[in-house]
Structure formats: C-alpha cells, structure tokens
Amino acid sequence: MLRTIIIDDDDIVTFLQRKIVSKCELDPDPICFKDGGKALEFLEHDSDPEVDYLIMLDINMPQMSGWEFLEKMKLVSDNERFYVVMVTSSIDRKDKREAANDSHVVDFIEKPVSARHCSKLKGISKLSGYFEEG
C-alpha cells in the first residue's frame, strides 16, 4: 500500500495538492503537514511499518527546507519505503541536479501540481506497481 504525504507551508497549495492527489486516485485522503519537523515525527513514530509513503515535499519552507528534511528523513529507520517528489516554485537548475542525484527522489515537479503530474507519477517504475489494476 502507498499513502501520500504532502509537506508544504502554504495552506492554499496544500489544499489544491490534496484535491488533485485525491481526484487522480494517488491517495483518497493524503496526510498533510505544514512543516518538515512534524512530518519527520510522524514518519519516525506514527507511520505504519506495513505502508510505503509517497512524500510530496516543498523545497522552500521556513523552519526546515525540503533539503534538510530529506537528509533527516534518511536517519529514520526503514527509510527505503519513502519515495520523495520534490515540489517547488523554484526553477533553480541546482535543485534539479541535487534531486536527480538522490536515491529517494523519484521526481521533481514545478508548482502547481497537476493531473498530468499525478499520471506521470503512476508510471514511474518505483511507483507503478502500486497502481496496477489487480
């Protein structure tokens, strides 16, 4: 099973991402966090060990950047069940390069997240098995 976690400090962005993720059948009820610290606590203490997680992670956040979250997430035991999509309004090529070199990052999306992005995610080899009709 794959659940979706949205981490973004902007309430409007979170609202829209939650709607699109649900509508595109990535996850009927995505879990949302306004900051990376709370999301890390969830992954460390409250996440279901039988569930894998698709984490839609905003890069630019005030308390902890997406990059800082990514490094701390790697310290969580059993972290190979976390798949990260970097979501950003930044068009910095350096961000794209860094994302491409991280084994947890499965995609890099420029905001806003669209239905097309969600369809693309379902086709990524690391994720496609969760969405095959059985």
Contact 4, 30 (CB under 8 A): yes
> What would the two tokens of residue 125 be?
């080899």
Which residue matches tokens 């798949």? 83
pTM of the model: 0.95
Please give the average per-residue pLDDT across 18-38, as a whole number: 96
pLDDT above 80 for 6: yes
> What would the two tokens of residue 128 be?
């496609």
Q: Percent of the chain at pLDDT above 90?
A: 86
Q: If you count DSSP H runs as helices and E runs as strands, how many of each does the chain have, helices first?
A: 6, 5
**What domains can you pick out in the chain, each with its CATH number?**
2-123 (3.40.50.2300)
Closest to 85 (Cα-Cα) out of 73, 15, 38: 73
Q: What's the rounded Cα separation, in Å, for the pair 76 and 11?
A: 26
Q: What's the rounded Cα separation, in Å, for the pair 42 and 25?
A: 23
pLDDT above 70 for 77: yes
Residue 133's pLDDT band, with cuts at 50, 70 and 90, is low
Residue 67: per-residue pLDDT: 95
Report pLDDT digits (tens) over 48-69: 999 999 999 999 999 999 999 9
Residue 124: per-residue pLDDT: 95
Residue 92: per-residue pLDDT: 78
Contact 54, 31 (CB under 8 A): no
